[in-house]
Amino acid sequence: MSDPIEPAKRLLSSLDFGPSWAKDVVPRPVKSVQKEHATEEKSADFQGNRDGGRRERGRGGEQRGRSGGGERSFSRGDDRAPRGGRNDRRGGDRPYQEREREVEIVPAPGVRCSVEPNLDAIHLIAKEVLHVARVYSLYDVAQTLISQRERFHGIFTMEENREPMYHGHRDNSLWLTKEECVRHFWSAEWRGDLYEEEEVEVDGPQGNFQVIAKCGLSGFVFGPPNYHAYQTSIRQWHREKYPNMPFDRYAAKIVTERSEEAVQSWLHGMKTKKRWRPVGQEDSPWIKEKAEVERHFLNNRFPEMYVATHKVEIPASTKGSLFSPSLLIHFKMSAAHASKHPAILIPTICNLLEKEHLPVFKKQGKLFAGPSRPRPIPQDTNFSERPAKILEWMRANADTKLAALWKAVLPEGEDEPSSEWLGDLFWLLSQGHLLLFPDDGLVMPMPKAQEPKPAKEDKKAAATKKAKTKKAKKPRKYRRSRLLAIQQKVAEMPERERASLRGYERTVSHRIRLKAALAKQRKLLWSGEDADDTN
């Protein structure tokens, strides 16, 4: 027989007797007792359906779940099965907490990010090229530079009509808003240089506390839901640790623990509090609240740590936690694009290598950097015995390997070249007479075959030839005036047709015809003829 007082206990445990200021701000955490009862009911329900299904299969050979007795039937298409398993499309076999932290972050609007090599890395490469006297492809150099984060940096540019970015020059952090800068202030290593921190013992909170709320993602203890700082603690922890997660989703992850040990542990931790004071101001009072410290930092010490700028250069070795999330997305996209297409770094590498006085030349359509540009040797140049022997063998084998060269030119009984042979080869390489590649390929630049110059022609014959090849100018066509064409057309019209035209006396052609008629009339008058016959 069931206990009649048990339903009343469950009802009282589900009621919220906290103060009014603690209600309807943050969703209440789910009680652990209710979770246990719900888990027991579901397990019993599933067990009953499973047994009932077996009995139904034994009778009729068809799987059915009983519908009576308040039990649910689990059909094949039921989607109320537990989620988070290996076949869950949304999460796969990843932990549930990690899937909840995933929030889509979009790149910041108005920001452009580009990747460029570091000057120190270019200096080391130029030093290596001169030291080993080898020729390197600029494409391979670009791949080497983009392969490690210490060898390149990112350049962030914000549009001028937008709010500036905030660069922390102490740790190369970069943020979009002042709120993010203040959030970074609490985790920055330089915070101790601005404010001294001290822990003091205080009286613990007084009240009837039975339940302790914790963060379901990190395990941080917020305290009892009826504690006056409960809402503030949740808001602050969410702002510091999970700013990219919606607050309602984060509040749903809060769990509770109902035990005397948890309550006593929380009370013991609340008997110590932190307070802060600006460094170098021993006479100023202690600041007891974090909000007051943030306000003091914004009003007094913010310009010392952050600089507002529209363009800044950040090393790629900077930690990702020192970037605003939307700016970090820009940096990752730029670095990934440069890693897939290293050729976009070649123009910048050429400019930087020229500053290091390292020559860049083109060979077979590709750009290379070496100790010197290729310099073919004329045939009549005299060298000493060892360089002459090396060059003579290289003229016969213009493209070979370094091992084959030593095997051919070294005296009998010597397997390894001596310092004299190495010195002569190094001189030829540094002068550009030979090219040594990273794969030990050895190439000798050959002089271009000179074409025979044509004999000088007579000046008169050249002038005649030039005059023949010159195109004759086309005669310019005479273009008759449009007014004369209209006048002629009007004159050819019959008299009646000309008279039927409206406004004919105001036309240009009529004026031209009248002018011609007057001229003809004057001519007739001077000649003594009768002018009445004129039109």
Nearest to 142 by CA among 331, 314, 319, 360: 360
Cα-flanking dihedrals φ and ψ of residue 399, to 5°? -130, 105
Beta bridge partners of 368: 137, 361
- What would the mean pLDDT of 265-281 be, rounded to a whole number? 84
What gap in Å lies between CA 297 and CA 428, rounded to an integer? 64
Its pTM stands at 0.58
Provide the residue type at 282 as one letter.
Answer: E
Token readout for 277 is: 């004071």
- What would the mean pLDDT of 248-256 be, rounded to a whole number? 89
| Residue that wins the pLDDT comparison between 107 and 475 | 107
- Tell me: pLDDT of 379 over 50: yes
Give the residue ranges of DSSP H helices in 410-472: 419-430, 459-469
- Tell me: pLDDT of 68 over 60: no
| Residue that wins the pLDDT comparison between 123 and 487 | 123
**Residue-wise DSSP of 227-255:** STTHHHHHHHHHHHH-TTS-HHHHHTTEE
What is the predicted pLDDT for the residue at 155?
96
- What would the mean pLDDT of 20-48 be, rounded to a whole number? 44
- What would the mean pLDDT of 244-251 be, rounded to a whole number? 86
Question: What is the band of 75 on the pLDDT scale with cuts at 50, 70, 90?
Answer: very low
- pLDDT, tens digit, for every residue of 195-208? 998 888 777 788 88
CA angle 214, 216, 222 (to 5 degrees): 20
Give the residue ranges of DSSP H helices in 92-137: 96-101, 119-132
**% of the chain at pLDDT higher than 90:** 40
Intra-chain end-to-end CA distance of the chain, in Å: 138
What is the predicted pLDDT for the residue at 356?
92
- pLDDT, tens digit, for every residue of 256-267? 888 888 888 888
What gap in Å lies between CA 351 and CA 371, rounded to an integer? 16
What is the predicted pLDDT for the residue at 510?
66
Lowest mean pLDDT among 142-156, 287-301, 363-377, 518-532: 518-532
**% of the chain at pLDDT higher than 70:** 70
**441-443 and 435-436 strand pairing:** antiparallel
Residue 66 near residue 52 (C-beta atoms within 8 A): yes
CATH class of the 376-443 domain in this structure: mainly alpha
- The DSSP code for 59 is H
Q: Domain spans of the chain? A: 111-164+310-353, 376-443, 483-533
- Tell me: pLDDT of 63 over 50: no
What is the predicted pLDDT for the residue at 323?
95
- Tell me: pLDDT of 79 over 50: no
Question: What is the band of 275 on the pLDDT scale with cuts at 50, 70, 90?
Answer: confident
What's the number of CA atoms in the CB half-sphere (13 Å) around residue 475? 3
- pLDDT, tens digit, for every residue of 440-467? 999 998 887 655 555 555 666 767 766 6
Provide the residue type at 139 as one letter.
Answer: Y
Distance of CA 5 to CAs 12, 35, 131, 309, 412, Å? 11, 20, 91, 68, 109
